[in-house]
Structure 1
């Protein structure tokens, strides 16, 4: 729920978002989705439930990098507390109904749907779907909530950069070290069945943009693997960093880049970079060239 404002605000917001989409060469529907997620995060940050969630996933890149990373429509959270579907639905109904400054969005609580995430690999998860309205524009919103993971080091508390001039959300987020640790764990565990090309891209991107404290990164990796009951393998035993994986997934990789309108980079170059970046964190003999 938003505080009262001029009746032409939805049209004004729509026009400004359309201009942003043109300036950034991003599809308008992606800008709409990002705006709806951003303003939902603001409502979450103003609610009594703010302490129950950490922001994770691709939306973190909006905080870490001023330029566009890769487009995403959804938001990922780490949740603390009950995973009961009725409880989660009640929480998000309250979040959607909270009174805030008018940002021209209305979140329709009658469209709330909550379901278990069947593909959640570890401790289960919950998916929340609902619809936001910007005037007469319908914007689907999806929130995926995971439970049970460890966060090393402590969560960050940051301001999420807004698309427009509305008050920005301030909320707790995953530290970058945990992001790397979880993506590595998925890469190791999934092996040749891995189709999560976004994880390879994200790890490559982060390894180039940031300097990591190796001691802290090792700590985060060990904590994640231990919590998930996974085995940390030597570099040359990780299928997802092998030459055979490059050959097997090259078409999948190119399709990922094409769908997301991203600049071309060879999967072999990405894997070589990841081997160099990750080798100091892994046990056993190392080689920076895929085998």
Structure 2
């Protein structure tokens, strides 16, 4: 590929993304970010490191329903193998140079920065930041990588949807059951200190739109709580209690999240969400604490039957 053709491709891609943003009424910078994350996934899927990362996080919503429900500015992985900062920096620098079909995006290997995630609300891990260039537009890319979690049932091979019809990433991704289990564990672990309103929203969306087998979901909850050394709650956790959803500060945080989130679907109130999640999460949890098999089925929107 000569330099002129590369510049023409990049300009064309940028124009198509701008048109797409206008058609959808979405922020162009968010579309750029999604494109950058998508093409990073493709480079990963073409590399020798493909099997060392399992896709998780908010980007899964695009896979499950071709829309994100809420915009995300980063990609999340469960990682395997070397978890050192130096090792991950070397991997992501190498990914920047993976030879792929021209998608207009140039990832800057010299921009790769790696640091430990020190946010107390996160379950450890490493954060990777880098930048890409698309016809002069700077594309910010962030990847958060956790280690050591259980995945129930096992991760599945997926084809990730693309914005412009480029070659699609093929890699492994989290099942919905483990997404639910990890977000639920965070609610229990953080309790009244929880300010991660996106987790409440994500759980609400998942429980409204998808069905679940009680045996599989309860096993995912058991395995995640065990791996993260978190006791299962016998009754409603404080993170879903009336004390939580009636708290003025929590409602301020929730309303700010709704206002700023550019959400596809908006629930009515934090109280509605917590009460709904209680009906979704507590029955399988109680079965586990009583050492019973939970054979119920969840239909989208509930209830268990």
TM-score range, shorter chain: over 0.9
Determine helix, strand or coil for the equivalent of 2:7. coil
Corresponding residue of 2:246: 247
Distance 1:141 1:2 in 2: 26
Asked whether the 8 Å contact 1:2–1:100 carries over to 2, the reply is: no
How far does the alpha carbon of each residue in 1:20-66 deviate from its partner, in whole angstroms, 9 at most, with x for none?
A: 11122211000000000000000000000000000000000010112
Asked whether the 8 Å contact 1:2–1:106 carries over to 2, the reply is: no
How far does the alpha carbon of each residue in 1:90-123 deviate from its partner, in whole angstroms, 9 at most, with x for none?
A: 1111111000000000000011111111126687
Following TM superposition, by how much is the alpha carbon of 1:265 offset from its aligned partner in structure 2, in angstroms? 2.0
How far does the alpha carbon of each residue in 1:122-164 deviate from its partner, in whole angstroms, 9 at most, with x for none?
A: 8731111111000111111111110111111110110110000
Distance 1:204 1:166 in 2: 32
Corresponding residue of 1:175: 175
Corresponding residue of 1:232: 232
Asked whether the 8 Å contact 2:128–2:143 carries over to 1, the reply is: yes
Distance 1:221 1:131 in 2: 36
Asked whether the 8 Å contact 1:108–1:131 carries over to 2, the reply is: yes
1:280 lines up with 2:283 in the alignment:
yes
Distance 2:148 2:70 in 1: 27
Determine helix, strand or coil for the equivalent of 1:55. strand
Asked whether the 8 Å contact 2:6–2:102 carries over to 1, the reply is: no
Asked whether the 8 Å contact 2:6–2:104 carries over to 1, the reply is: no
Change (3 A) 1:151 1:260: same
Determine helix, strand or coil for the equivalent of 1:95. helix
Corresponding residue of 2:296: none
Corresponding residue of 1:289: none
Following TM superposition, by how much is the alpha carbon of 1:167 offset from its aligned partner in structure 2, in angstroms? 0.3
Corresponding residue of 2:274: 271
Q: Mapping of 1:87-236 within 5 angstroms?
A: 87-119=87-119, 124-236=124-236
Change (3 A) 1:267 1:2: farther
Asked whether the 8 Å contact 1:2–1:102 carries over to 2, the reply is: no
Corresponding residue of 2:21: 21
CA RMSD of aligned residues (A): 2.0
Asked whether the 8 Å contact 1:132–1:141 carries over to 2, the reply is: yes
Distance 1:134 1:120 in 2: 34
* Gaps in structure 1 of 5+ consecutive residues: 286-291
Name the count of aligned residue pairs.
Answer: 285
Asked whether the 8 Å contact 1:104–1:135 carries over to 2, the reply is: yes
Corresponding residue of 1:12: 12
Determine helix, strand or coil for the equivalent of 1:282. helix
Distance 2:246 2:95 in 1: 46
Asked whether the 8 Å contact 1:235–1:275 carries over to 2, the reply is: no
Distance 2:3 2:144 in 1: 28
